Amino acid sequence: MRRISILGATGSIGQNTIDLIARAPQEYRVVALTGAGNIAQLADDACRLGAEIAVTAHDDRLEELRTALSGSGVDAAAGAQAIVEAAQRPADWVMSAIVGVAGLAPGLAALRDGATLALANKESLVCAGSLMRDTARTRGATLLPVDSEHSAIFQALTGENIADVERIVITASGGAFRDWPVEDLHKATLELASSHPNWDMGQRITIDSASLFNKAMEVIETREYFGIEPERIEVLVHPESLVHALVGFADGALMAHVGPPDMRHAIGYALHWPERRALPVERLDLARIGSLTFRAPDERRWPALRLAREVMAAGGLSGAVFNAAKETALDGFIDGRIGFTKMAEVVERVLDRICAQPGHIDATMTLDNVAHIDHLARQEAGTVIQKIAG
């Protein structure tokens, strides 16, 4: 039986992972499930799957979790450190599906323990790519991509030599406002930004898909995961969200990965890798779909893409600054303090300020230094948001 832990089990990726595991319970032993505020879901899943331990990120919800688990034999724990400890419990496969930089320390802890880490938490690679890669290498751990685009690239590269790759193209749906006039974007509401035309995901990544901050993060993720130069990474708007990525080789061939917009494909591929097994996802009827369309992204509409290029050029800890400023700006949009288009402005101002000061982004990439610069960038973003909100 394979030992499995799911970090961020109550979220969209976590629930899709549980869906796959619950279809073949005899194959898996669930070690740890972690969540945050949704205690009922966490406790239900932990009991149903017979987990060893369930952990909530919120210290003050421990009693509630204990009560929900009483009599089940499942242990309960709470707090950020307890999540790191849960991630370190011996397991063969760990899903990293916490949202935000909060996923970095637990994912890193699982890698230190030599686990196979299925990585949905793209923030880990954006903030600390070389730390994640080096840890995997030195601990003999395996890092598998779960983002649909990166799983697609990984699959297209199987049996190929990365030296033969000319370019990698990741697609973007364009999100909720792809067809709005640019001048109207400032009117985008939280409600509209929270509904994705094709994918069913957590609220934060859905809004990031509308601003293309998600795609900007994924460009950096591509660079960090596959080690390819930034100028070889392209973004293509593809409203149907059926082609997830394309890899262009030296002979001019483009290998495309085509599949339904269902994260159980990328999760299942990582779960069964290196095997490929049957998955409960829709089979595409391309004759019925008829046509697939593509267009170049307009950077005036989506400044996040330009900012991602600036981050890759700056290097060092600039990805952690970018991510922290983005997370804080997103909070500001969700709370109604700033408008949709102001998010990119906040991120740009924070990047300009922190990257220009010596000793910040050029510090060594350690968990402590990432946490420090994350804190600085959040403070700076808070100040900028206050100024904008007046």
Give the residues across from 222 on adjacent strands. Answer: none
CB atoms within 10 A of CB 249: 16
Site for ligand NAD in 45-64 (CB under 6 A): 57
Does 330 engage in binding with ligand NAD (CB under 6 A)? no
CB atoms within 10 A of CB 295: 11
Stretch binding Mg ion (CB under 5 A), from 142-150, 175-183, 329-337, 360-368: 142-150
- Helix then strand then coil, in percent of the chain rounded to 5, is 50, 15, 30
Q: Which residue's C-beta sits nearest to ligand NAD?
A: 11
CB atoms within 10 A of CB 67: 11
Q: Contacting ligand NAD (CB under 6 A), which of 4, 5, 8, 303?
A: 8
Identify which of residues 147 and 374 has a Cβ nearer to Mg ion in the complex: 147
Does 120 engage in binding with ligand NAD (CB under 6 A)? yes
Q: Contacting ligand NAD (CB under 6 A), which of 21, 98, 105, 305?
A: 98
Taking the C-alpha atoms of residue 134 and residue 129, their distance in angstroms, rounded to an integer, is 9
Which one-letter amino acid corresponds to residue 31? V
Does 170 engage in binding with ligand NAD (CB under 6 A)? no
Q: Contacting ligand NAD (CB under 6 A), which of 21, 32, 35, 238?
A: 35
Residue 165 touches which member of Mg ion, ligand NAD, none, C-beta under 5-8 Å by kind: none
Binding mask 286-305 for ligand NAD (x = CB under 6 A): --------------------
Smallest distance, Å, CB 348 to ligand NAD? 21
Site for ligand NAD in 179-208 (CB under 6 A): 199, 201-202, 204-205
Smallest distance, Å, CB 287 to ligand NAD? 27
Query: Comparing C-alpha atoms, which of 222, 262, 212 is closest to residue 242?
Result: 262
Does 135 engage in binding with ligand NAD (CB under 6 A)? no
Smallest distance, Å, CB 209 to Mg ion? 8
Residue 176 and residue 195 in contact, taking contact as beta carbons nearer than 8 Å: yes
Smallest distance, Å, CB 284 to ligand NAD? 18
Number of chain residues interacting with Mg ion (CB under 5 A) = 3
Stretch binding Mg ion (CB under 5 A), from 52-60, 147-155, 293-301, 352-360: 147-155
Residue 57 touches which member of ligand NAD, Mg ion, none, C-beta under 5-8 Å by kind: ligand NAD
Contacts of 354 (CB under 8 A, 6+ apart): 321, 360, 361, 373, 376, 377, 380
DSSP code of residue 174: -
Which one-letter amino acid corresponds to residue 218? E
Taking the C-alpha atoms of residue 13 and residue 28, their distance in angstroms, rounded to an integer, is 18
Smallest distance, Å, CB 204 to ligand NAD? 6
Contacts of range 154-159, beta carbons closer than 8 Å, 24 or more positions apart: 155/257, 155/269, 156/245, 156/246, 156/247, 156/255, 156/256, 156/257, 157/226, 157/247
Number of chain residues interacting with ligand NAD (CB under 6 A) = 26
Stretch binding Mg ion (CB under 5 A), from 47-55, 104-112, 146-154, 320-328: 146-154
Look up residue 78 and give its two tokens: 């709470």
Total residue count of the chain as it appears in this document: 390
269 Cα distance to chain centroid = 16
First to last CA, the chain: 57
Smallest distance, Å, CB 147 to Mg ion? 4
Does 147 engage in binding with Mg ion (CB under 5 A)? yes
Look up residue 279 and give its two tokens: 């998955």
Does 208 engage in binding with Mg ion (CB under 5 A)? no
Smallest distance, Å, CB 13 to ligand NAD? 4
Contacts of range 158-162, beta carbons closer than 8 Å, 24 or more positions apart: 160/247, 160/249, 162/226, 162/227, 162/228
Site of interaction with ligand NAD (CB under 6 A): 8-14, 35-36, 57, 83, 97-99, 102, 120-123, 147, 199, 201-202, 204-205, 263
User: Interface with Mg ion by CB under 5 A: which residues?
Assistant: 147-149
